[in-house]
């Protein structure tokens, strides 16, 4: 797989990727806002929502840790993982 975009839950899709084969992973997880977010498309004809409520730091940390461990196994020795976050979840991500 070269220059492919995989759509779906990353836990499912990462199983399709060969171990030690990736140079760079960019992760944009939920931001631990503890809110439900609702957005509309530009035409305002469709609404999308997602729940970013975790109940505790531990629930959010477990969610991320599971994914980060699997991602780490996919990286080449020279590979890197970049995590997009903000101040609301940064302290939790650093502990994973």
CATH number at residue 48: 3.40.50.150
Whether residue 2 is contained in a domain is answered as no
Whether residue 38 is contained in a domain is answered as yes
Q: Which distant-in-sequence residues (6+ apart) come within 8 Å of 30 by Cβ?
A: 50, 52, 60, 89
Residue 14 vs residues 37, 67, 84: alpha-carbon distances, Å: 26, 9, 19
Whether residue 78 is contained in a domain is answered as yes
Whether residue 4 is contained in a domain is answered as no
Domain range enclosing 50: 10-94
- What percent of the chain is modeled with pLDDT above 70? 100
* pLDDT surpassing 90 at residue 94: no
Tell me what pLDDT residue 96 has: 79
- Is 84 in contact with 27 (CB distance < 8 Å)? yes
Mean pLDDT of the 14-21 span: 94
Counting the structural domains of the chain, the total is 1
- How do residues 30-74 score in pLDDT, each as one tens digit? 999 999 999 999 999 999 999 999 999 999 999 999 999 999 999
Query: Which tokens is 48 given?
Result: 């999308």
Tell me what pLDDT residue 95 has: 85
Whether residue 1 is contained in a domain is answered as no
* pLDDT surpassing 90 at residue 88: no
Whether residue 18 is contained in a domain is answered as yes
């Amino acid at each position: 797989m070269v220059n492919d975009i995989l759509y779906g839950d990353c836990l499912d899709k990462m199983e399709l990727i060969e171990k030690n084969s990736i140079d760079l992973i960019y992760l944009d997880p939920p931001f631990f806002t503890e809110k439900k977010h609702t957005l509309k498309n530009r035409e305002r004809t469709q609404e999308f929502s997602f729940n970013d409520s975790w109940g505790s730091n531990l629930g959010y940390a477990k969610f991320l840790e599971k994914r980060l461990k699997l991602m780490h196994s996919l990286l080449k020795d020279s590979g890197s993982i970049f995590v997009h976050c903000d101040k609301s979840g940064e302290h939790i991500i650093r502990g994973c």
